[in-house]
Amino acid sequence: MPELSITGTLVNYFVLCRRKAWLAVHGLWMEQESEAVALGRLLDETTYADELQHVNVEVEGHEGLRLAGRIDWAELRDGVLHETKRSPSGLEAHRWQLRFYLWLLKLRGVTRPDGRPFEGQLNFPRQRRTEAVTLTADEEARLRTLVQELHQTAALPTPPPRLENRRFCKKCAYEELCFG
Amino acid sequence: MKRPYYIFSSGRLRRRQNTLFFEKAAGERIPDDQDETGEPSGTPSGERIPFPVEQIESLYFFGEVDLNSKLLTFLARHDIPAHFYDYYGNYTGTYIPRDHLHSGRLRIEQVLHYVRTKRRLYLARAIVEAATYNLLRVLRYYVNRLEGTRRETVSAAIATIEQERAQLRSAEKISELMGIEGRSRDAYYGVWPAILSDGPGEAFVFEKRERRPPSNEINALISFGNSLCYTTTLRQIHRTALDPTISYLHEPGARRFSLALDLSEIFKPILVDRAIFRLVKTGEVTPRHFEERLGGVYLKEAGRRIFVRYWDERLRQTVHHRRLERHVSYERLIRLECYKLIRHLLDPKNEPYQGLHMWW
Phi, psi of A50 (to 5 degrees): -85, -10
The model's confidence at residue B121, banded by pLDDT at 50, 70 and 90, is very high
Cβ–Cβ under 8 Å, residues B310 and B278: yes
Closest CA to B314 of B237, B235, B228, B238: B228
- In sequence order, the 6+-apart residues with CB closer than 8 A to the CB of B139 are B154, B157, B158, B161, B188, B191
The model's confidence at residue B3, banded by pLDDT at 50, 70 and 90, is confident
Residue A1 pLDDT: 46
Mutual angle of helices B330-346 and B258-267, in 10-degree steps: 120
- Contacts A27 to B, Cβ<8 Å: 102-106, 241
ipTM associated with this complex: 0.85
Mean pLDDT over B64-86 rounds to 90
User: Could you state, in chain order, the average pLDDT of each consecutive group of 10 residues for chain A (180 residues)?
Assistant: 78 94 91 66 62 74 79 80 84 92 88 85 88 91 92 94 85 91
Q: Among the listed ranges A35-39, B12-16, B77-81, B162-166, which one has the minimum average pLDDT value?
A: A35-39
Q: pTM for this structure?
A: 0.87
pLDDT at B289 over 60: yes
- Determine, for residues A176 and B350 on separate chains, whether the beta-carbon distance falls below 8 Å: no
CA B168 to CA B154: how far, in whole Å? 22
Average pLDDT, chain B: 89
Quote the minimal CA–CA distance from B322 to chain A in Å. Answer: 9
Mean pLDDT over B163-185 rounds to 94
Higher-confidence position of B215 and A51: B215
pLDDT in tens, B316-354: 999 999 889 899 999 999 999 999 999 999 999 999 999
Cβ–Cβ under 8 Å, residues A164 and A19: no
Mutual angle of helices A137-154 and A18-25, in 10-degree steps: 60
Q: Is any Cβ of chain A less than 8 angstroms from the Cβ of B2?
A: no
Nearest to A26 among B103, B239, B350 (CB): B103
- Contacts B113 to A, Cβ<8 Å: none
Mean pLDDT over B51-59 rounds to 88
Higher-confidence position of B109 and B212: B109
- Contacts B328 to A, Cβ<8 Å: 180
Q: Sign of dihedral through CA atoms B113, B118, B120, B125?
A: negative
pLDDT in tens, B185-213: 999 998 988 888 777 767 777 667 777 77
Interface of A with B in 26-85 (CB under 8 A): 26-29, 32-33
Quote the minimal CA–CA distance from B254 to chain A in Å. Answer: 26
pLDDT at B236 over 70: yes
The model's confidence at residue B254, banded by pLDDT at 50, 70 and 90, is low
